[in-house]
Amino acid sequence: MAKFQPRDRKVKILATVGPASSDPEMLRRLVRAGADAFRLNMSHGDHSIHEKSFEAIRALEKEFQRPIAILCDLQGPKLRVGEFKDGKALIAHGARFTLDRNPEPGDATRVQLPHPELFGLLEKGHRLLINDGKIRMRVREATPDAIHCTAEVGGVISNRKGVNVPDAEVPIPALTEKDRRDLTFAIEHGADWIGLSFVQRPEDIAEARKLMGGYGSLCAKIEKPQAIKRLNEIIELSDGVMVARGDLGVELNPEEVPPLQKRIVNFSRTLGKPVIVATQMLESMIESPSPTRAEVSDVANAVYDGADAVMLSAETAAGDWPEEAVLMMDRIAAQVERSDDFKQRVRFLETPPDATTADALSHACMTIADTVPIRAIVTFTASGASARRVVRERPSVPVMVLTPSAVTARRTALLWGAYPVITKDIGSFEEMIAKGKRMALRHGFGDATDKLIVLAGVPFGTPGATNLLHVVTLQGDELKKHEN
């Protein structure tokens, strides 16, 4: 059984599983390199492939004796053009082009748009972005049967390329029939997080929650401009948030994305919701063994902003250097967190505690750890709520999350600074102190004379009853007992 040492960083690394990383041995190497959680992209591969990934990741949990979060990322609805006579066509810059209901193959002047909900929705001046924004159309006239456009940016257009409509709220649900099937599969196989794509309004979150039936945690992917208009409501209704910069960068101007990323991270942190920064973080490492300096700075800025997790997409799913990409992200994050100004910068955002005992004690944990030498904060939790409160403060020491629930342990594996451990529940104050010390020694969070902060609730086992904070000192005889 592998001996697993705590990471030398608090931000988590979420790696996407794909053809380059689905082999169990490669997944093992990614965990050793620094991956704390894995994303299964339901847009690619069938259920039999994803089932093997579930099995391999759960086997690694047992091998490393460390909870690993699995996020199943739903595809969401995709708007696409129809097909062309020759499979593709060249649209000149400034040319006129029409998207219509005619199912006949298209050419350089027109193509079918097999989405009736868009006709009558678009207006003059609205934009249509095709193939990830490589082709940009501006609507001249829209009728119930055709959308007449001017190609502001032309290029080669081919069969079934994606269409983005940034200027209108598309009246389609965030969950397709495929998403519903994928969601059922994910829940049945114990997915810890569900990534919801195409979120435009809070009602999309409510629909997904109803289908989830209380299982799993819901991560809202912020990738549509329409979601920005109701961002606060969407984040409040979600369990976590993903800044999906790839799609945001298609529908928004590039210069709008960085400040929006900071806004999403800050509001999520204020609410104590885990936030993931995703897409193109080390994009060049899909083909190169080393990143660009700009990519290194991008990852570093996300770490400085206090994001809970940074995500690798194609870098680990389909790239030539999946292990090296994780190692690089791990090195960047660890170096940033060791910098002299990290604590000050990561706390530049104020997260004042709510007027509750639990929040006040969580805030006190951070203050005590800044004032006296503390090795770790140990929190006992059934639901994970107390762990979320503690890490929201971005304390300077790791947070051991002791819980009897494997579900809670896996979900908290995405939290900044959290080190979840599955252990039996406690029944008394003495047992709490003894177990906190024992787990800290066992997992490398303490030595003789080190101090720990222990946070719990009395009566024990009662959700939401965090009301006890205790500072304890590890003794030499306890260390000897543990070693024996």
How far apart, in whole angstroms, are the C-alpha atoms of residue 359 and residue 88? 58
Question: Using alpha carbons only, what angle is made at residue 108 by residues 103 and 114, rounded to the nearest 5 degrees?
Answer: 25
- In terms of C-beta density within 10 A (0-12 exposed, 13-18 middle, 19 or more buried), how is residue 407 classed? middle
Confirm whether 379 is a catalytic residue.
Answer: no
Closest CA to 415 of 386, 457, 442: 386
Tokens linked to 415 = 């939290």
Confirm whether 279 is a catalytic residue.
Answer: yes
- Reply yes or no: is the peptide bond before residue 291 cis, omega within 30 of 0: no
How far apart, in whole angstroms, are the C-alpha atoms of residue 7 and residue 252? 36
Give φ, ψ of 178 to 5 degrees. -60, -45
How far apart, in whole angstroms, are the C-alpha atoms of residue 106 and residue 99? 9
CA-based max dimension of the chain: 82
Confirm whether 39 is a catalytic residue.
Answer: yes
- Please identify which of the residues 136, 161, 221, 388 carries the catalytic annotation: 221
String of DSSP letters for 322-359: HHHHHHHHHHHHHHHHHSTTHHHHHTSS--PPPSSHHH
- Which position has the token pair 């204020």? 270
- Please identify which of the residues 7, 39, 66, 161 carries the catalytic annotation: 39
- Please identify which of the residues 80, 101, 201, 262 carries the catalytic annotation: 80
* 8 Å CB contact between 38 and 17: yes
Contact residues for 66 (Cβ-Cβ < 8 A; gap 6+): 4
- Please identify which of the residues 279, 351, 403, 423 carries the catalytic annotation: 279
Tokens linked to 366 = 């951070």
String of DSSP letters for 359-409: HHHHHHHHHHHHHS---EEEEE-SSSHHHHHHHHT--SS-EEEEES-HHHH
- Which residues are catalytic, by number? 39, 80, 221, 279
